[in-house]
Amino acid sequence: MRYWTEAALILLFGACLQGQSVPEKDASFIDAEGTAHVTRVVPVPKTVSVEAQRSLARRVSDAPLKQTLAERRAKTDTWQARAGAEFRAIYPVNVTEGGIAEVPVKTITPLTIPEGNRDRVLINVHGGGFNSDSGSLTETVPIANLTQTKVIAVLYRLAPEHPFPAAVDDAVAVYKELLKTYRPEHIGLYGTSAGAILTAEIAVKLRRTGLPLPAALGIFSGLGDFSRAGDSQAIYSLNGFSGPLTPPSPEPHDSFYIGSTDPKDPVLSPLFADLNGFPPSLFITSTRDLLLSGTTILHRAFLRAGADARLVVYEALPHAFWNDPHLPETKEANGLMAAFFEKHLGEIAMGSQQPADSSAAKR
């Protein structure tokens, strides 16, 4: 697999389809402004599972996607339903829809909840680029099953119709309502991608409004600074080395989500917030994740503030790979997430991190 500039990638893919030869040598050039123009020949690593190797070897067009927001949402909903069903076959749970504090939610409940876990709850804010739902099932089903703890997935208002701080406000409203039933030390908050970003934003908002922080945060491939793009966003797409690449711009990114807010607002960009006293936090990313830089930069900010912050970086895999139920690395990542919440929300009867009550998982 190769890393080229966006234009070169498009030409390269076309050349491959036409059977033309492509360069096989590494090259680099640093221009007068310090911009790197790079070609790298990168083989599929043998350091990941066979399933991951097959996934990384897929040929994906680098041509820009021409997709309306309505088409993206419809495609994401279809994928989420299918992937969610696959996860539920491995990790059986019950799923219901309803509302908390006038915010729509999904409630993901294990088939059995031990007595000691009934006073605990996990809150998920899903991924999906702030404009769609790509995680309310894939991010919650395995965790609910493994922890045998109820998970509330917040179906927050989406941008661009509802830019910042609408999603944060929705999650805070749900959290405040749950505080009437659950002690903060028995609540965990987590998310992937946009949800990982929201997790940190929500924590800052809770602090600024005088509400108690949850017992633990899960920031799974996110960022904390909307004013600057990280280095990895110039290298990787959502699929890692393959797929459409959007080069970083000097302008603030995700403007449809930011709206009129200052990109350095400490709630929008927690890198600029006071993070002292934040709860134990688990950060997860991977070496071909476009948000690798954003995740590691925010992790270091937590460390500078004295937080108990752990960072796990997976080898070679792309952004939010744990949404793929077919990878052994997904099972491992979900186990790490579940064990983290077990440690910080109290003793949870999870056995050896195997899917609970799942005959499918034993086959």
How much is the pLDDT for 355?
67
CATH number for position 286: 3.40.50.1820
Same-domain pairing of 262 and 201: yes
State the Cα–Cα distance between residues 135 and 182, nearest whole angstrom: 24
Same-domain pairing of 96 and 145: yes
Is residue 185 domain-resident? yes
Same-domain pairing of 34 and 79: no
How much is the pLDDT for 25?
84
pLDDT tens, residue by residue, 197-242: 999 999 999 999 999 999 999 999 999 999 999 999 999 999 999 8
Same-domain pairing of 151 and 281: yes
Same-domain pairing of 180 and 297: yes
Is residue 55 domain-resident? no
How much is the pLDDT for 319?
97
Is residue 64 domain-resident? no
- Per the CB < 8 A criterion, the answer to whether 348 and 147 are in contact is yes
- Per the CB < 8 A criterion, the answer to whether 336 and 312 are in contact is yes
Measured torsion, CA atoms of residues 78, 313, 264, 215, in degrees rounded to the nearest 10? 80
Is residue 340 domain-resident? yes
- Over its C-alpha atoms, the chain yields an Rg (Å, rounded) of 20
How much is the pLDDT for 15?
45
Is residue 24 domain-resident? yes
State the Cα–Cα distance between residues 146 and 91, nearest whole angstrom: 8
How much is the pLDDT for 147?
97
- What's this model's pTM, rounded to 2 decimal places? 0.90
Is residue 289 domain-resident? yes
Return the closest-CA partner of residue 279 out of 139, 185, 181, 195: 185
Beta strands in the chain (DSSP E): 2-3, 27-30, 36-41, 93-100, 103-110, 121-125, 150-154, 187-192, 216-220, 281-288, 309-318
Domain extent for 33: 2-43
Could you read off the pLDDT tens digit of each residue along the chain, which spans 363 residues? 333 443 344 444 444 444 556 667 888 899 998 988 888 889 999 999 999 999 999 988 888 888 999 999 999 999 999 999 999 999 999 999 999 999 999 999 999 999 999 999 999 999 999 999 999 999 999 999 999 999 999 999 999 999 999 999 999 999 999 999 999 999 999 999 999 999 999 999 999 999 999 999 999 999 999 999 999 999 999 999 988 887 777 777 799 999 999 999 999 999 999 999 999 999 999 999 999 999 999 999 999 999 999 999 999 999 999 999 999 999 999 999 999 999 999 744 344 355 665 443 433
Same-domain pairing of 190 and 283: yes
Is residue 48 domain-resident? no
Same-domain pairing of 18 and 119: no
| Peptide linkage before 279 cis (omega within 30 of 0) | no
How much is the pLDDT for 362?
38
Residue 274 is given by DSSP the state -
Residue by residue, DSSP assigns 152-177 as: EEE-PPPTTTS-TTHHHHHHHHHHHH
42-49's contacts with Cβ under 8 Å and 24+ in sequence apart are 42/1, 42/2, 42/3, 42/241, 43/1, 44/1, 44/316, 45/315, 45/316, 47/315, 47/316, 48/315, 48/316, 48/317, 48/329, 49/327, 49/328, 49/329
State the Cα–Cα distance between residues 294 and 80, nearest whole angstrom: 25
Same-domain pairing of 31 and 144: no
Residue type, 212: P
Same-domain pairing of 227 and 132: yes
How much is the pLDDT for 141?
98
Token output for 333: 């990542």
How much is the pLDDT for 6?
38
How much is the pLDDT for 3?
39
Alpha carbon 231 to chain centroid distance? 18
State the Cα–Cα distance between residues 297 and 77, nearest whole angstrom: 31
Same-domain pairing of 169 and 32: no
Same-domain pairing of 19 and 159: no
How much is the pLDDT for 352?
38
How much is the pLDDT for 11?
40
Total tally of structural domains belonging to the chain: 2
Token output for 315: 């080898």
Same-domain pairing of 258 and 118: yes
Is residue 298 domain-resident? yes
